[in-house]
């Protein structure tokens, strides 16, 4: 279980996995190292898409696989962008277009719009492609959507996500601070606990 393929092509996610898991004894291999094709993500739930990505990478490589399906959910937008977060602004994927669309959609709701939002992350670890007992953990991070982008760190929607209590966007946080608070950091902490307790 020490050698793991990371079933993601998102450079922001890959960097954060590397940072958070650095102290632990894993050999993390990005799926690009094996030329794994992009998995279909046709499902309406994060967990189903994460399972699909992990199974696809494990089947292609013969290794245990860890997948992350994540996104930003804005209740005032009916939960959007949700599972469509990566492609909210259309094809091909573009963080800049996604952020523009998010700001436009909230602006269309008027000045009194409820700008609360949360990031959600589900991680799925499959020991092998047919593993009937995947390890599944989650993390959630609550904040608000700013009116304009701030900060240059992170990726995705980070420059629009105001972190409560800190007065900073998640793109303004030093990487270790984002990783300590974030949906992905929380999910990975649960994963480490589960692996340590042998569950
Ligand atoms: P892989 O499927 O290859 O992992 P992806 O980017 O397509 O990459 P998802 O389908 O899980 O992955 O989409 C996640 C999107 O949610 C991501 O592209 C960002 O737009 C957003 N997102 C997730 N975590 C984020 C974070 O920590 N900060 C900012 N945006 C995030």
Confidence band for 86, pLDDT divided at 50, 70 and 90: very high
Does the pLDDT value for residue 134 go beyond 60? Answer: yes
Give the position, in ligand 1's atom list, of the atom nearest the Cα of 86.
Answer: 18
Residue with the smallest CA separation from ligand 1 atom 31 is: 156
Query: In which order are the strands placed within the sheet that holds 27-30?
Result: 27-30, 3-6, 65-73, 116-126, 135-145, 161-163, 168-169
| CATH code for residues 2-196 | 3.90.950.10
**pLDDT at site 199:** 63
How many whole angstroms from 67 Cα to the centroid of ligand 1? Answer: 11
Of all protein residues, the one whose alpha carbon is nearest to atom 17 of ligand 1 is 86
The distance from CA 174 to its chain's CA centroid, rounded to whole angstroms, is 18
Pair 27, 74: CB distance under 8 Å:
no
- Return d(Cα 107, Cα 124) in angstroms, integer: 35
Element (H, E) at 17: helix 11-21
Q: Which of 69, 95, 105, 193 is catalytic?
A: 69
193 is catalytic: no
Can you tell me the mean pLDDT for 144-149?
Answer: 98
CA dist 178 and 174 (Å) reads: 6
Q: Is the CB of 139 under 6 A from ligand 1?
A: no
Return the number of other C-beta atoms located less than 10 Å from residue 186's C-beta: 19
* 33, 83, 115 from 29: Cα distances, Å: 7, 25, 37
**How much is the pTM?**
0.97
CA of 9 from ligand 1 middle (Å) equals 10
**pLDDT of 126 above 90:** yes
**pLDDT value of residue 9:** 95
User: Please, which residues have CB within 8 angstroms of residue 26's CB and are 6 or more apart in sequence?
Assistant: 2, 3, 4
Which of these, 15, 11, 133, 12, lies nearest to 64 by C-alpha position? 133
Q: Whose CA is nearest to atom 18 of ligand 1?
A: 86
pLDDT class of 2 with cuts at 50, 70, 90: confident
pLDDT in the model for residue 1: 52
The residue extents of the domains of the chain are 2-196
pLDDT band at 198 (very low <50, low <70, confident <90, very high): confident
Question: What is the average pLDDT score of the chain?
Answer: 96
Q: Cα(70) to centroid of ligand 1, in Å?
A: 5
% pLDDT > 70, the chain? 99
- Ligand 1 mean position to 162 CA, how many Å? 17
Task: Report percent pLDDT > 90 for the chain.
Answer: 92
Q: Residue 101 pLDDT > 80, yes or no?
A: yes
Determine the average pLDDT of the residues in 26-32. Answer: 93
Mean pLDDT value across residues 120-130: 97
Rg, the chain, Cα only = 17
């Amino acid at each position: 279980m020490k050698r793991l393929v990371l079933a993601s092509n998102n450079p922001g996610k890959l960097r954060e996995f590397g940072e958070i898991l650095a102290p632990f004894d894993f050999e993390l291999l990005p799926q690009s190292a094996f030329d794994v094709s992009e998995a279909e993500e046709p499902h309406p739930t994060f967990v189903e898409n994460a399972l699909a990505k992990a199974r696809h990478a494990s089947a292609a490589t013969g290794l245990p696989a860890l997948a992350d399906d994540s996104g930003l959910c804005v209740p005032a937008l009916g939960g959007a962008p949700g599972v469509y977060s990566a492609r909210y602004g259309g094809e091909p994927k573009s963080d800049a277009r996604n952020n523009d669309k998010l700001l436009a959609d909230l602006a269309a709701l008027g000045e009194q719009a409820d700008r609360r939002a949360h990031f959600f992350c589900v991680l799925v670890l499959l020991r092998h492609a047919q593993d009937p007992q995947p390890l599944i953990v989650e993390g959630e991070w609550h904040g608000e959507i700013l009116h304009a982008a701030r900060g240059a760190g992170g990726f995705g929607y980070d420059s629009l996500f105001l972190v409560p209590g800190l007065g900073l966007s998640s793109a303004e946080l030093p990487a270790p601070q984002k990783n300590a608070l974030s949906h992905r950091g929380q999910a990975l902490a649960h994963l480490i606990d589960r692996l340590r307790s042998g569950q």
